[in-house]
Amino acid sequence: MKKLIAVAALLASSAIAPATLAQDVSVSTSIDYVTEYVFRGVSLEDSAIQPGIEVSVGDFSVGAWASTGLGSDSMADTDEIDFYAGYGFSLSDTVSASVGATLYHYPDGGDTLEFSAGVGFDTVLSPSVTAYYDIDLEAFTLEGGLGHSFPVSEATSFDLGVTGGLVMVDGGGDYEYGQATASLGYAFTEDVSVYAAANYVLSSEDTLGFTKTTPKDNLFYLGVGVAAGF
């Protein structure tokens, strides 16, 4: 109950925005298909459909995201619905920061609540660092990322990115992970776009024993998706 109250309070604070932000409301939706659902270096499902929706009011945002496994070789109780809220702000002309909370809800497997804080830099390769702490799993994650977008045409871009992280779990189970992503995006309009991506993941942990199949230290997976904004 405390977890739900904490998230509800953050959602409520997002909703109480100044009247001057009334015209800054935006809504974005997306739906993706991935050949493997990988979360921080851990393979949870061998394929999944993942829809999402987000509402932003000024610097505040709230959203929901879900994942439904399609394959037989997936973690038990893999259906997942996440609810999140966040606030982003500028520290300077080139430095931005964000704080947020995410409630991970598993219809057949319980909930966990995670808080996060991050900083990003508007400079070469757009470096970022984010810290996460899950109060139920007692897990701390520190993740860094780099990325760059190459315009191919007025409507097409080729994007490269790398992320790396360290997960420390109270009681043992620490591991490191890294991921490289290459994606091609195409914008039909300012509000509607599609993408296709290839991802390669390395992990020092054999997926923490979560998978039903042979543990994987590294893997390759694909993703495609469409996004629309209003």
pLDDT per 10-residue tile (average), the chain, 230 residues:
43 46 83 95 89 97 95 62 98 98 90 98 98 97 98 98 96 91 98 98 66 58 97
CATH value at residue 122: 2.40.160.40
Domain enclosing residue 10, as ranges: 2-229
Pick the closest to residue 162 from 175, 174, 180 (CA basis): 180
* ∠ CA 46-85-147, rounded to 5°: 60
Rg (CA), the chain: 18
Q: What burial letters (b/e) apply to 171-200, b meaning 16+ CB within 10 Å?
A: eeeebebbbebebebebeeeeebebebebe
**pTM for the full model?**
0.84
Q: In this predicted structure, what is the pLDDT of residue 71? A: 66
Q: In this predicted structure, what is the pLDDT of residue 191? A: 96
Q: How many domains does the chain have?
A: 1
Tokens of 28: 């974005």
